[in-house]
Every structure is written in C-alpha cells, then in structure tokens.
Amino acid sequence: MKTAIKNARIVTPYEILQNCEVIIENGKIADIRENGSLPAGGFDEVIDAKGNYLTPGFIDIHNHGSFGKDVMDATFQALDTISRFHVKNGVTGFLAATLTASIEEIKGAVKNAADYIKTQNNGVEFPHKKAGAELLGIYLEGPYFSKSRKGSQPQEHIRDPRIDELEGIIRASGNNVKVVALAPEIPGALETVSYLKSRGIKVSAGHTDANYNETKKGIDRGITLATHIFNGMRNFTHREPGVVGAVLTDERVYCEMICDGIHLHPATMKLIVTAKGFDRVVLISDAMMACGLSDGEYKLGPQKVFVRNGEARLHDGTLAGSTLTLNKAVYNMVYRLGFPVHHAVRMATLNPARAVGVSHRKGSIEIGKDADLVIFAEDFRVLTVFVKGIKQQLRKDC
C-alpha cells in the first residue's frame, strides 16, 4: 500500500513547512517532499490536505480511560474503546495508566494490557482494526506513594515499594511497563529507582511529599519524569522549593503538564514552559472514564467521581483525573496561552516519545519512522488519521 499526502503544512519540532508532500509505504514514512514535487502516478491513494496541518500523531503517556471505560476494568473491550476514542482526537499511541489498587488488581490490569498489545502487534483481525491508537505500554501510577499527597489515589492500597513485588507486576505485564510513578522519599524508593533504571523502565516522581534534597537524590538514581507537575506534590516555597523546584530546575527531568485550565493556572503553565523549555514539557490528558461523555457520576477505581462542567472531582472536592483530550490541550497551548503551533505540537509528540523511549520510531515526521500522522484543521479538529500507515475509520460511537 502506497499513499501520498499533498498540499500539507508539515509541523516539525522546529518550524512549519509549507506546501509539502509525504509518501507512506509499508507503514512507514518513505519520503518527504517540498514545493509540489510529488511524482505522478504509482499511488494507491492520494490525499489532499488542502493546506491544513500535518503533524505526527499525538502520544498520550498518561491516560486512565475514556468514554465510560477504565484501564482498571481489565477487559479487552475497555482498552479497545479507549484506543478508538484516542484516534478520534489525534492520538496514535498511548500508555495505559493504572491506579493504586491491590497488587492482584494491578496484575490483572497489566496482564490485560499485555494481551491487548500482543493482539495489536500480531496484526490479528479484531474488531475496529482500523479505528484505534497503538497501545505502547503501561504507566504504573501507584501504589508506591505518599499518603499525604495521595490526591484521588485510594489510600487503603498505598504502600512502600518492594522490588520482588514489582518484579511480579512487570512479569505479569509481559515486560510492557514503560513508566513507574512513585514517591522518592518513602522507604525503599531509591533502591527501587535504581532497579527500574537497570530494567530500562522510566521512573516518575509522583504523589510525593519529597523535599528538594530528597527529590534530587531520586533524580541522581534515575528519575526522569515528574507526574502531572504541581498536582499531588509538596507545595513550592521560596525557602524549601521541594519536588517542584527540583524537577523544574533539573534538565534531566521531563515534566508532565495537564493543560485544561483546571489543574493549573495559565500563569503556572507559562512558568513551567519558561523553566523547562519547549523540549522538556510533556502534555498529558490524565483522562478518566468521563472523558468524551457528559457531566454526571462516574468512578475512578472504587471511588465515586462527580463531573460538573467538565471537572472531575471526588465527593470532598479533590480533583480525580480530567476530561481533557490531547488535541484540546494543544489547542489551549496555542490559542489560550499563545505558544507557537510547532512548540505546542512538539509537547504532544516528540517530547513524550523521548520521555518514554520510543522516539526512534515515533514522535516526528521523518523518513523511516512509523507513519503515525494526523491532518488537523486550524482549530485542531481531526480530519484524517494514519496509524502505522493505515487510514483510520473515525467512529462516532466512542
């Protein structure tokens, strides 16, 4: 199958290229041309982008669910629904984020994710084959957290890390765990960070009450991510900058950011980008099952979540994930905060790809990389999506 996309504005991490063509062959980007130099004939399909943006597919590394489904449901249908919903919003790859729960529940969820990944990788004919983002791995959010910064994580299952226990979870996942979020100050955390680094698994500081020095020790051991910066963390002060001060000023760390205008004030988001630069901020959704649905009552693990005006909260008012989609996050960065399009897109493509170790094949429009591509209108409405060169059927029932 050989496909050409013409008349596109290609969004690179550094600039926007006008009037370009991209050739897709065997699921890869085979060629990139400028100024209308597309050869005549020889294509199975030619798509006219009509001057719209052509970007790499977005990568959502932190997502719990959408459209009434949760990763912790531990069913094929749940992941398939989440995958199909992602594609409609320009996401072509994602990590399935778990929640603090019993070890057996976590093992069930990661095993289910491993089975789903195996099905996708084997190219098995399963429902909606042409309507789904690629599940790139698993984001283990908990249970190794600080109870004082638990946020919406169920307290009864929060615990100190044990490497043998973690080995069992990783084994159940078929070695598909890509990120583990933990609190670096709790007993056993530093040894766990070293162990995870030795396994090639990224470690994120999250739901933590760590001070500045404790966080720096974790970074020195191998922490390279910060889970939804400012949320679920010790507050920043001018005399004790804490975990926030450590991750914002250390170039080894990527910072996840929820750009919904609820989790962070616009000035705070600008501060984060100013501190980290355009190459160390990762836009995430942190979406939960209400994403894509109307206000109402939902759940996050065993807890009831109440969504009002798009805000997801527990009964005590604690934020419980979001209803954000990643194309809306990019829209907010551009049209509400005033950042250039190519920088905002980078934060949802190349930066997350680099943060989780898949940038050799994902995250930018380069010859030889996977043909994960999206044609967006000026307002970031999704027009056309390719996942590994397959044109997606954008379903309305998810």
Note whether 313 and 306 are within 8 A (CB).
Answer: yes
Q: Which residues of 253-276 are buried (b: 16+ CB within 10 A; e: fewer)?
A: bbbbbbbbebbbeeeebeebbebb
Under 8 Å CB-to-CB from 144, ≥6 apart: which residues?
Answer: 158, 159, 160, 161, 180, 182, 183, 186, 189, 192
User: Residue 343, annotated ligand binder?
Assistant: no
- Residue among 155, 194, 202 at smallest CA distance from 177: 202
Under 8 Å CB-to-CB from 277, ≥6 apart: which residues?
Answer: none
CA–CA distance, 257 with 346 (Å, rounded to integer): 13
Count the neighbouring beta carbons within 10 Å of the beta carbon of residue 220: 13
User: Residue 207, annotated ligand binder?
Assistant: yes
Tokens 């029932």 found at: 397
User: Residue 128, annotated ligand binder?
Assistant: no
Note whether 210 and 243 are within 8 A (CB).
Answer: yes
H/E segment holding residue 129: none
User: Which residues make beta-bridge pairs with 11?
Assistant: 16
Q: Which two tokens stand for residue 139?
A: 């984001």
> Dihedral of the CA atoms 125, 130, 132, 135 (nearest 10)?
50
Which of 73, 286, 370, 372 is catalytic? The answer is 286
CA–CA distance, 189 with 146 (Å, rounded to integer): 11
Note whether 356 and 136 are within 8 A (CB).
Answer: yes
* 286 is annotated as an active-site residue: yes
Tokens 């249970």 found at: 143
Binding residues: 141, 207, 228
- Residues flagged as binding site for Zn(2+): 141, 207, 228
**Active site residues per annotation:** 286
